[in-house]
Chain A
C-alpha cells in the first residue's frame, strides 16, 4: 500500500509583505515584495510528506508559472517531495485555467490523491481544488483540518491528519464547517484542499536543500497541453480598500464605558 500524491506549490507574495495597489489600478506594486510558496500549499506539501512517511509512496509537486516558480518547487523538494513538474506559463491565469492544467497533469501522472491549498493568499479565490474535482468527476474534501490541536501530541509526532483506511482505498478527512467539525470519507482518487489547522509545515533542512538540487524537475509548456488558458475571470481594476481612521485612546474603563454608552450608544 503506497500513495502517489500530487501537490501544488504556487508562488505568491509573502503574507508579511505590504501590498499596495499601483496608482493606475492595473496591478500591485511588486518592488520590495518578497515571494514564497502559498502557505496553504505548504500545509498540503507537509500533509503529503506525512502520508508518504506513514504509508510509503511518492510526492510530486506541481507549479504553474515562469522560471521563478521553480523556486517554489525546489522549496517543496527541499522539504522532502520526490520530484517536480513546472508547467510553464506567462501571464495571468484564473482557477478555470489552473484546474484545466492540473487536470492534464493528473491524467499524465494518475496519482491516488491530489492535495492543494484551499486558496492562494494572493487572489483568495478558493476555487481551484473544487473546480479540478468537478473536471475529473472526483470526490472532494475541502478545508481539511483535524480534531487534535496544533499543540497536540499527534502534531508533535507528525501524524498525518488525513487518515487512510486499512484497505488503502479511501481517506477520512476532518473538515472545518460552520457550526462544527465534519468528517467525510472519500474514495481514492480524490481531491483534498487544506485549511490552516491540518498541520504545521516543517522547515527544509540543509541536507534537504542540497538533495533538492539533484531531484528531477520536469518542465511542460502549458500552451502544449491543449487547454484554453485565456482568463475567464477578468480583473478590470484594483483599488485600495477604504481605510478606517483610528479613533481615540481612552484613559480607563470608566471613560470607555461612557463613550460606548453616551457617544456610540452601542451598550
Chain B
C-alpha cells in the first residue's frame, strides 16, 4: 500500500496550526497514490490531542510515553520510522517548522529515504509525485523527484490550506520501544517567548521592523497592536539583539504569507524578501527611496517610520 504518514506537532496539549496545513498536503499525496492518510502524534499524555486530530478524518497513531515528553529528535525519530514501516507508508511528511526540520531528516536517515525540504507544492503524474521546493534563498524553484522507496518531505505551511474537520478517524496506540536510559540527549529547559499578539506565521497582518528602527520597536509594536497584528523583524534587527530571534522573517527565519505585511525601515535584502513575498498586500515605509523593498511593495511610502507609523495608527483608530 502506498500510504501517507504525517507527523503532527503538539505543544502544551494543543495541535500546532502548521500541522493542519501539513495534513492537507498529506491528503493531496494520499489522493495521488491511492493510499490512506495516517497521522502520528508523539508526546506524553496526548490522548486529547490524538482525539482532536481524529476529527480531521485520518487514522491517528498516538505514541504516548514519558520518554516522548519533550520533542527530542533522538527519541522521536525511531518511533516515527517504526510507525512508517508498520503502516507501510511510502510518504512521510510534516510541516517545515523547527520541530519538523529537526526531526524529519533524522527519520529519513533511519529509513534511508530521500527527502525534500520546505515543499511548496506537488507535481508529476498520478502516483509519481514530484516536489516543488525553493533553492538559493527562494531565487530558484526546483522540481525534484525522490528515488527511494520511502519519500520524506516537509511542507511550507503557508502554501497549503488548513485541513477542515471531516469524518472521524480511528485512534490507535503506537508502539514506543525507546529506552529512556539509552538516550544521549537530555532536555535541559525551554524559555518561552510569551506574547499576547497572534503567532507570526498565523497572523492576518504582520508589521515588521528592520535596521531603520535603530533598535526602537515602539512604533512597530504600537501599529501592530492597533491592527491586532504580529510583529516581525529583519535579520539585522534580530542579530543586533533588539528583538527576540523568534521574530525573524526570512529564508532562515520564518516564512509568512499574511493578508497585509507592513515592512518599516527594512531595506529588503533577498534573504528577507524570501520570507514574506507570498504576502497578499505589501506596504513598505522607508526613508531611502532606492530601497529594494519598493520594487515589490504594492504601496510604497518614502518617509520616516517614526513619523509615518504613529500617524497611520492614529488614522486607523479614528476610522473605527
Q: Please list the residues of chain A having a beta carbon within 8 angstroms of any beta carbon in chain B.
A: 13, 15, 19, 21, 28, 94-96, 99, 121-135, 138-143, 145, 147, 149-152, 170, 172, 175-187, 190, 195-197, 231-241, 244-250, 252-254, 256-257, 259-261, 264, 266-267
Contacts and interface: CB of A to CB of B under 8 A. Distances in A.
Given A145-B245, A267-B316, A134 B108 contact: yes
B276 to A, nearest CB: 10
Interface in B89-121: 97-99, 101-110, 112, 114-118
Contacts of A248: 298-300
Given A130-B106, A234-B146, A246-B294, A149 B114 contact: no
B3 to A, nearest CB: 20
Contacts of A141: 185
A178 B239 contact: no
A240 B137 contact: no
Nearest to B193: A180
Contacts of A245: 296
Nearest to A122: B136
Interface stretch (B61-69, B162-170, B307-315): B307-315
A140 B192 contact: no
Main secondary structure of the interface of A (DSSP, over half): mixed
Contacts of B301: 249-250, 252-253, 256
Interface stretch (B31-39, B41-49, B71-79): B71-79
Contacts, number: 261
A163 B7 CA distance: 31
A267 B260 contact: yes
A204 B215 CA distance: 30
A239 B140 CA distance: 6
Given A134-B77, A176-B245, A178-B246, A186 B135 contact: no
B252 interface: yes
A31 to B, nearest CB: 16
Nearest to B201: A178
A125 B117 contact: yes
A120 to B, nearest CB: 10
B297 interface: yes
A260 B260 contact: yes
Contact of A149 (B185, B199, B240): B240
Interface string B183-197: 111111111110000
Contact of A95 (B74, B105, B302, B308): B105
Nearest to B315: A257
B320 to A, nearest CB: 10
B77 A232 contact: no
A184 B109 contact: no
B296 A244 contact: yes
Nearest to A138: B184
B141 A238 contact: yes
Given A142-B101, A180-B192, A232-B148, A246 B295 contact: yes
Contacts of B134: 124, 241
Contacts of A232: 114, 146-148
B300 A181 contact: no
Nearest to B112: A96
A252 to B, nearest CB: 7
Contact of A244 (B148, B188, B277, B302): B277
Contacts of B294: 246, 249
10 contacts: A125-B117, A129-B105, A133-B106, A178-B99, A179-B246, A197-B238, A232-B147, A238-B140, A246-B297, A254-B315
A77 to B, nearest CB: 26
A33 B114 CA distance: 29
A196 B250 CA distance: 12
Give the most central of B139, B192, B239, B302: most A CB within 10 Å: B139
B308 A253 contact: yes
B233 interface: no
B299 A197 contact: no
A227 to B, nearest CB: 12
Interface in B178-222: 183-193, 199, 205
Nearest to A176: B245
Closest 4 CB pairs of A and B: A134-B109, A149-B241, A130-B105, A247-B298
Contact of A152 (B103, B241, B270): B241
B281 interface: yes
B280 interface: yes
Contacts of A184: 72, 185-188
Contact of B315 (A147, A149, A244, A253): A253
Contacts of A124: 117-118, 134-137, 251
B245 A181 contact: yes
Nearest to B215: A151
A15 B115 CA distance: 24
A259 B299 contact: yes
B241 A256 contact: no
Nearest to A124: B135
Nearest to B190: A182
A203 B174 CA distance: 51
Given A232-B147, A267-B260, A177 B98 contact: yes
Contacts of A266: 205, 259-260, 280-281
B303 interface: yes
A158 to B, nearest CB: 17
